[in-house]
Amino acid sequence: MPLRATLNDKQVQSFEFPLDEWEELKHGYRKQKLLMPCCLNKAIPKTSKLGTQYFAHSRRGDCTSAPESQEHMYLKFAVAKAAKESGWTVTTEYQGCTPSGDKWVADVFCEKGTARIAFEIQWSQQATNEYLRRTEKYTQSGVRCAWLFRLNGSKEYGRYEFIESYSLPYFGFKKKADGYVVARYQKSITEFVHGMLCGKLVWGPKTGDLLNIRVCYIDDICWKCKRTTNLVTGLEVLDKNNRHLDFLSFGGAGVEEWISTHIDNAELHAAGIGQIKNRYSKTVGHSYMSNGCFHCDALQGNFFIPPSLEGGNKLVCEWSYNSEELHIEPTWSFEGNPGTYWF
């Protein structure tokens, strides 16, 4: 049940028809030459129960094209229409192949200038390796591929359950009362596709991006002098609009070095935090960068420091991202928002 057909030897696509023109075609197609692109058999313009405009075989005959669900067709229609409205040239059920001859068929294929993007709508479950394998075909063909895949509407998912990768942009959607939404960003399929094709889906942070870093700390009792001292628990990383990107625990790679480089000892001192420096630990048998007591400078072991974002104790610093200083796991952000962790 494609969205594309040949009308009087000219290619047409159902999502490009205004409703009144579609109804006119449904009433008058018998007087015209309307053919299916897959087999050149006669086609019939129809409207599904979900309101999708599509073409069906008058008689299927020996056509080998695979059938598709009404839901899959509805989503394909929505993506194609959104892409067209965003100023892209759109072709549904677009066939192509890799330089080595491996064939692929994109649900929705979009072109603008030299940019080429394929959208795949995955209604049935598919293994991660299959996403990667099929995406690689597009990559070899010089086409960027984005996936929209169905999530179980009654199940809660964590972002950690899915690969976060620049080479595999894939996003789960759920059925809501008012339609399908990309669950991580709580955006309708139409809004998401519009935004993606207008540059609102961004992979980052990238070198040079301005970030806000919050040095988080808590108060504790020094094991040696029994006085209250403040201890750094980690770094909260936010984008320039103060949206949370990551939390890096004290003791993690590069965290202590970053603090000692970018936060003055005077600023730490004013916050009741001891100097961050190398101290020898009898327990582990070597020196390491550590918190120290504000009063007696005794080492406060990393093992006893909880990774914490709790409380309002934070020092704030603006920083231009450099992964050689501090690595922050990159992520997909839509309209500057990395999305929810649970959806």
SS3 per residue for the chain: CCCEEEECCEEEEHHHCCHHHHHHHHHHHHHCCEECCCCCCEEEEEECCCCCEEEEECCCCCCCCCCCCHHHHHHHHHHHHHHHHCCCEEEEEEEEECCCCCEEEEEEEEEECCEEEEEEEECCCCCHHHHHHHHHHHHHCCCEEEEEEECCCCCCCEHHHCCCECCECEEEEEEECCEEEECCCCEEHHHHHHHHHCCCEEEECCCCCEEEEEEEEEEEECCCCCCEEEEEEEEEEECCCCCEEEEEECCCCCHHHHHHHHCCHHHHHHCCECCCEEEEECCCCEEEEEEECCCCCCEECHHHCCCCCCCCCEEEEEEECCCCCCCCCCEEEECCECCCCEC
Q: Is residue 332 situated within a structural domain?
A: no
If one counts every other C-beta atom within 10 angstroms of the C-beta of residue 40, the result is 10
pLDDT score at 310: 56
CATH of the domain at 77: 3.40.1350.10
Both 222 and 159 in one domain: the answer is no
Domain count, the chain: 3
- Mean pLDDT over 99-107 rounds to 97
Both 105 and 42 in one domain: the answer is no
Q: Is residue 335 situated within a structural domain?
A: no
- Mean pLDDT over 211-224 rounds to 95
Q: Does position 277 have pLDDT exceeding 70, yes or no?
A: yes
- Mean pLDDT over 158-162 rounds to 95
Task: Tell me phi and psi for residue 269, to 5 degrees.
Answer: -60, -40
Q: Is residue 339 situated within a structural domain?
A: no
Both 79 and 185 in one domain: the answer is yes
Both 16 and 135 in one domain: the answer is no
Q: Mean pLDDT over all residues of the chain?
A: 94
Both 102 and 193 in one domain: the answer is yes
Q: Is residue 159 situated within a structural domain?
A: yes
% of the chain at pLDDT higher than 90:
85
% of the chain at pLDDT higher than 70:
98
pLDDT score at 213: 97
Both 227 and 248 in one domain: the answer is yes
Both 226 and 272 in one domain: the answer is yes
Both 45 and 96 in one domain: the answer is no
Q: Please give the radius of gyration of the chain, using alpha carbons only, rounded to the nearest integer.
A: 28
Question: pTM score, two decimals?
Answer: 0.84
Taking the mean position of all CA atoms in its chain, how far away is CA 332? Answer: 4
Q: Is residue 91 situated within a structural domain?
A: yes
- In the structure, what pLDDT confidence band is assigned to residue 38 with cuts at 50, 70 and 90? confident
pLDDT digit string, tens, across residues 192-208: 999 999 999 999 999 99
pLDDT score at 134: 98
Both 5 and 43 in one domain: the answer is yes
Q: Is residue 330 situated within a structural domain?
A: no
Q: Is residue 327 situated within a structural domain?
A: no
Q: Does position 153 have pLDDT exceeding 90, yes or no?
A: no
Domain of 274 in residue numbering reads as 210-320
Q: Is residue 228 situated within a structural domain?
A: yes
